[in-house]
């Protein structure tokens, strides 16, 4: 575990302890930085200690804990460490996720299980670990980074789409369970976003089809009326809004950040 002094002392989330899973890169890192800028005390959680250390060193987070969200015991222990060291976690952003591609007839049950475990079970385990503290405090925000794949289907990613639909179902059901407690549960659903995950997808398209990177990118962004990838910072801004007291009436929602695709 690493720690650093927060440099931001003012903002709508000042003093609130936030945990961002998958916080070392992509949307998770952008979200950690945005929460820090809004005054939150941010702990980033992920598998790769080096990138988590970099996030803390850069001032995007105050602390880090290492765990793979697919490892239930390690995740529970990491949450306990963060809570004991820095106080109850009142803002949880489940940003850890992964995507694998294959046509359905080549998609193994093992792939379905991997996609479910990282995209759904990981969020469930982490939420179960922090929710009692939120309920005791009478305030909490659980925000699941879902996807437009929670809202529609895409070719060649049946396992991923299935898992992301499951994550949205979890979001909506838990929102009903905690309604009136001061805790809200919502999902942010980005379209194709400028992250390493999408860069890897482009590389696979190029390798599989022989198309250029530019052609592959154009294919991915064709459904977005803006004609471009979503920026991680745009997703993070939506998360910051949902974390605020002013968003107390928003519960069980799927906020699409997709340029109008859905």
Annotated active-site residue 154? The verdict is no
Q: How far apart are CA 93 and CA 127, in angstroms?
A: 9
Gyration radius of the chain over CA positions: 18
DSSP code, position 153? -
- Catalytic option among 154, 156, 160, 241: 160
Q: In Å, how far from its chain's centre is CA 64? A: 16
In the three-class reduction of DSSP (H, G, I as helix; E, B as strand; rest coil), residue 142 is classed as strand
Q: Of 207, 206, 226, nearest to 216 (Cα)? A: 206
Which alpha helices (DSSP H) does 117-224 contain, by range? Answer: 122-137, 158-178, 196-209, 213-221
Q: How far is CA 150 from CA 108, 153, 163, 178, 230, in A?
A: 20, 8, 8, 22, 16
Q: What is the dihedral of CA 112, 95, 202, 230, to 10 degrees?
A: 130
Residues pairing with 184 in the sheet: 141
Q: How far apart are CA 152 and CA 191, in angstroms?
A: 11
Q: How far apart are CA 129 and CA 82, in angstroms?
A: 11
Q: How far apart are CA 194 and CA 177, in angstroms?
A: 34
* Residue 223 near residue 191, CB atoms below 8 Å: yes
Catalytically active residues, by annotation: 160
């Amino acid at each position: 575990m690493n720690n650093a002094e927060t440099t931001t002392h003012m903002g709508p989330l000042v003093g609130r302890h936030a945990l961002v899973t998958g916080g070392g890169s992509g949307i998770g890192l952008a979200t950690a930085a945005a929460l820090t800028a809004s005054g939150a005390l941010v702990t980033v959680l992920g598998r790769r200690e080096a990138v988590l250390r970099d996030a803390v060193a850069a001032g995007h987070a105050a602390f880090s804990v290492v765990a793979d969200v697919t490892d239930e015991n390690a995740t529970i222990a990491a949450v306990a460490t963060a809570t004991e060291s820095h106080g109850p976690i009142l803002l949880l952003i489940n940003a850890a996720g992964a995507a694998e591609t294959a046509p359905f007839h080549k998609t193994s049950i093992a792939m379905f299980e991997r996609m479910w475990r990282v995209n759904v079970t990981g969020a469930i385990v982490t939420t179960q670990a922090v929710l009692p503290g939120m309920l005791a405090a009478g305030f909490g925000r659980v925000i699941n980074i879902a996807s437009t794949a929670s809202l529609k289907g895409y070719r060649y990613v049946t396992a991923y789409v299935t898992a992301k639909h499951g994550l949205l179902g979890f979001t909506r059901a838990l929102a009903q369970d905690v309604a009136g407690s001061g805790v809200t549960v919502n999902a942010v659903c980005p379209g194709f976003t400028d992250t390493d995950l999408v860069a890897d997808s482009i590389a696979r398209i190029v390798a599989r089809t022989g198309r250029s990177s530019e052609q592959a990118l154009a294919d991915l962004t064709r459904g977005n009326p803006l004609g471009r990838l979503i920026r991680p910072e745009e997703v993070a801004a939506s998360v910051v809004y949902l974390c605020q007291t002013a968003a107390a009436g928003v519960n069980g929602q799927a906020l699409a950040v997709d340029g109008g695709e859905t």
